[in-house]
Amino acid sequence: MSVLRITDLTRSFGSLVVTSRVNLSVEQGERHVIIGPNGAGKTSLVNQIGGQLKPSAGGIFLGEEEITGLPPAEICRRGIARTFQRNNLFRELSVLENVRLAAQPRRGGALNFTVPASRFAAVTEAALHALALVGLCSVADQTVRNLSYGEQRQLEIAIALASEPRLLLLDEPTSGMAPAETARMIALIAGLPRSLAILMIEHDMQVVFSLADRITVLYYGEVLATGMPEEIAANARVRDVYLGTRH
Ligand SMILES: Nc1ncnc2c1ncn2[C@@H]1O[C@H](COP(=O)(O)OP(=O)(O)O)[C@@H](O)[C@H]1O
Ligand SMILES: [Mg+2]
Ligand number, closest to the Cα atom of 40: 1
- Distance (angstroms) between ligand 1 centre and the Cα of 42 equals 8
Higher pLDDT, 245 or 39: 39
Query: Which pLDDT value is given to residue 117?
Result: 73
Residue 193 main-chain phi, psi, to 5 deg: -60, 145
Let me know: does 154 contact 136? Beta carbons within 8 Å.
yes
Task: Give the pLDDT mean for 22-47.
Answer: 97
Query: Which pLDDT value is given to residue 246?
Result: 47
Q: Which atom of ligand 1 is nearest to the CA of 13?
A: 4
Q: Which atom of ligand 1 is nearest to the CA of 47?
A: 17
Q: Which domains does the chain have, with CATH numbers?
A: 1-79+166-247 (3.40.50.300), 88-164 (no CATH)
Query: Which pLDDT value is given to residue 48?
Result: 98
| Cα angle for residues 117, 134, 144 (degrees, 5° grid) | 70
Higher pLDDT, 168 or 243: 168
**Across the chain, what does the average pLDDT equal?**
93
Higher pLDDT, 85 or 179: 179
Task: Give the pLDDT mean for 190-216.
Answer: 96
Task: Give the pLDDT mean for 6-11.
Answer: 98
Query: Which of 13, 52, 199 has most ligand 1 atoms within 8 Å of CB, for mutation?
Result: 13
Pocket of ligand 1 (CB under 6 A): 13, 16, 18, 36, 38-44
Q: Which atom of ligand 1 is nearest to the CA of 41?
A: 17
Let me know: does 43 contact 85? Beta carbons within 8 Å.
yes
Percent of the chain with pLDDT strictly greater than 90:
86
- Distance (angstroms) between ligand 1 centre and the Cα of 38 equals 9
Model pLDDT for residues 89-102, shown as the tens digit of each residue: 999 999 999 999 99
Task: Give the pLDDT mean for 217-242.
Answer: 94
- Distance (angstroms) between ligand 2 centre and the Cα of 85 equals 7
- Give the Cα separation of 208 and 190 in Å (integer): 11
Query: Which pLDDT value is given to residue 200?
Result: 98
Q: Which atom of ligand 1 is nearest to the CA of 53?
A: 1
Task: Give the pLDDT mean for 44-54.
Answer: 97
Query: Which pLDDT value is given to residue 244?
Result: 67
Task: Give the pLDDT mean for 12-25.
Answer: 98
- Please choose, from the candidates 53, 188, 164, the residue with its C-alpha nearest in 3D space to the C-alpha of residue 107: 164
Query: Which pLDDT value is given to residue 243?
Result: 74
Model pLDDT for residues 101-157, shown as the tens digit of each residue: 999 888 876 656 666 677 778 999 999 999 999 999 999 999 999 999 999 999 999
Query: Which pLDDT value is given to residue 86?
Result: 67
Q: 217 pLDDT exceeds 90?
A: yes
Task: Give the pLDDT mean for 57-67.
Answer: 98
Model pLDDT for residues 145-188, shown as the tens digit of each residue: 999 999 999 999 999 999 999 999 999 999 999 999 999 999 99
- Give the Cα separation of 102 and 127 in Å (integer): 8
Pick the residue whose CA is nearest to atom 8 on ligand 1: 44
- Distance (angstroms) between ligand 2 centre and the Cα of 139 equals 30
Calculate the alpha carbon distances from 138 to 37, 54, 78, 134, 173 in Å: 38, 39, 31, 11, 21
- Give the Cα separation of 22 and 145 in Å (integer): 39
Query: Which pLDDT value is given to residue 105?
Result: 84
Q: Which atom of ligand 1 is nearest to the CA of 46?
A: 17
